[in-house]
Structure formats: structure tokens, C-alpha cells
Amino acid sequence: MSLTSLVRGVLYFLCSKGYSLAASRLTNVDLASVYRFLRTGPSDVMSVEDCLREPNRIVIDVRSPSEFAQGHIPGAINVPLFTDHERSLVGTTYKQCGQEQAISLGLEIAKAKLESLAGDLERAVGQVRKNGGSPSGAIIHCWRGGMRSRAMKWLGGQLGVDFDLLEGGYKAFRRVGLNYLSCSARLVVLAGPTGAGKTRILSDLARSGQQVIDLEGLAHHRGSVFGGYADRTQPTTEQFQNELILKWHGMNRDQVIWFEGESQVIGRVVIPEELWQQLTLAPMIFIDVEVQRRIEFLLQDYGSRDVGAMIDAASRIKKRLGGLRYREAIDSAEKGDWTNFCRVMLGYYDKYYFRALEKRGPTHLHRMEIRNPGVLDNESDIIALADRITSS
């Protein structure tokens, strides 16, 4: 079957179904122009840079469900043109038989489900309107800004909605976004031993108008073996990085940006190398609190008394704890002696933190003692310190 016949079949299919697309509009369609539209695409495209500058624009992602689940632009609506299986078939055809056969197969698959596709797209448009946005201001994309997004843009046009295409698609968003993370900025790392209340301090600084990027919040993890949240699963590394890209792009890099001291891996997600290199070189403010107060804070803040969960946490670092300390931690958990359990675990984490401090060197490290975890005696002091050490 020729491509023109397939396109004609698609149009007749829509008319025979009596769907919401205007029949008069379809009968006047120049089939050659439809084919040209799918092959070359329209000129009304939006660059990734412009997309990032307008974070309130609605994004419609037409990639397959598994692609979307792996990672997507935060807030995007998934309206897949193909299922995962259909995408695999078209991709295999492209590799084995070439572009023309892949286009023909894609149109044949779409022809059989155009009514449901149009319905899905109309529901997405309805969601845009419900959220107070303009459907014609929505951005549509696939992996590289190719055939899938152009086909859905064409279908949107038949519904009376003119979408913008994201230039280069999701692949370009990832490339440009990760490059942005390497742009120099005034970064400060707030570090300190486990239980010092770093996250609480950063939350207070954010409420005071400071720029804070909460890596643990984006990762849905507290950054230690205690760290998973019972009610939240971690995102994929790709999605974590996408959320980070949007946060980063919304920051004023001429002003101080605060981060909490983390290892490059938070739970199972990874801070991208582009940002990690900056964080390792950034000045650090290290806050410290007396051990007993940190233990009390941990018992209150983490709140878990699940023996199994705590034994599992200790088991994950068994080799690094050493046999005696590991056995002491397990015995304490089984007896419900949470104070001693925390003391044993903090012994390991404190050792880890102080080793990391040695690598920083005195010119990048600024110490600050606080009396109570998560509570600054004078917030303006740490803000002034951050401004001073990032201005040189």
C-alpha cells in the first residue's frame, strides 16, 4: 500500500467514524501536503532554551509509556502515539527496511486507533484548559522532535489546536539541561554529621528567601542508610536529574545557591557529573552539634522504631561497621535500645564525614558550632558568611 493511500485511508476513517473533527476540513486536505508535513515538519518550533524560560507552558509528551516512565520533562502529560510494543515494531522496521517502510507501518498502526488517539489528545487539551492554560500554547514532543510529534501535531491541527514542537525533542532537553548544570554559580554546601539538622536549617533559609535546592527532597531519600521514605518511592536517576534541571534553571546564579552536603549517590539516584564537579569545589559550611543532642534529634526526626528496618540499615554497611560494632548495633535494635543503636551508627557516619572534610582543605571549609540540631542561633550570620565566601 502506498503512503498516499494510507493517508487517504486515515482521513476516510475519521470521516466514517463521525468523530469531532470537521468533515469539511478533512475533505479539503491536500494529501501531498500531509505527507510533506510528516516528512519535514512545520517551522513553528520552540527551542529548549525558550521552553526552560517558560516553565508554566504545558508539555505533551507523545513517547511510549515506558519511555515516559524512565524520564520526562516535569509536569508533562503523556499522550503516547504508540504502545511500547508498537514503537518496537516501527523501530525494528526502520533499522531493517528503512524510513519509508517505517513511516508506512506507523501510519497503518495509527490508522487503526485514530479515534482513541484523538480522544486522548482532546482529554489532554481539556486538562490544559482545566489548569488555566491555553492549548495552543502547549508544547508537544517525542524523542528527537521527529515523526511521532509531527504526526500528533497534525492531529492536533485537525482538532483546531496548534501546538508548538519542541526542537530536538526530549533528547535535546536532556542535552541542554545537563549542560546548564555545568554553568558556574555561587554555590555553598551546608554539611555536617548525621543528625545535625541540615535539612531543617535549609528549609528555614528557603523560607527566609534564600535560594535552596533540596537534593534529598528531589531524590525522596534522606541520603543515608536510614534514608528511604515509607510513603514515597525514589524516582529514576533520569527523572531526578530532570527535576534538578528545572530547579537549577529557575535559580539566579549571581546569588548564593545552597545545597546540602551529599555523596554523589543519594539512595539509588545519581547527581549528574556536570553539577557534582561544581559541588566538590564549592565552599563548605560545616555545622556541628554535640553527639547526644544529635541522637535525640534523630530519634525524634526519623521516628522509626521498626526493628527489621533498622537491622536492614545496619546490614547494608556491615563490612564498614566491622564485626563488633555491627553485632552491637543489632543487639541494641533487638533490645529496643535505640539510643545506643544510633550511637553506634553515628560512629561510622562521623568517621565518614571527617574523612571527607580532610579532602576539602582549610580554604574551602568554614566551621560553625550550633547548640541544637536544626536551629541557628542567628540566621543572618550564616547568610553573611555564605555571601562572603562566594564573593571572592
Residues identified as active-site: 142
The Cα angle at residue 126 between residues 124 and 130, in degrees rounded to 5: 115
Residue carrying the nine cell digits 529557575: 250
Facing residues of 284 across strands?
189, 365
Residue carrying the nine cell digits 535505640: 338
**Separation CA 392–CA 139 (nearest Å):** 41
Work out whether strand 265-266 and strand 269-270 pair parallel, antiparallel, or are unpaired: antiparallel
**Separation CA 179–CA 200 (nearest Å):** 30
C-alpha cell at 99: 524510513
**Separation CA 284–CA 276 (nearest Å):** 14
In what order do the strands lie in the sheet containing 139-141? 45-46, 164-166, 139-141, 59-61, 77-78
Compute φ and ψ for 210, nearest 5 degrees: -75, 150
Nearest to 197 by CA among 283, 313, 289: 289
C-alpha cell at 257: 545557591
**With contact defined as beta carbons under 8 Å apart, do 57 and 50 qualify?**
no
- Give the DSSP H/E element, type plus range, for residue 265: strand 265-266
Facing residues of 77 across strands?
60
DSSP conformation letters of 305-342:
--HHHHHHHHHHTHHHH-HHHHHHHHHHHHHT-HHHHH
C-alpha cell at 254: 549571581
Q: How far is CA 260 from CA 8, 104, 189, in A?
A: 58, 52, 5
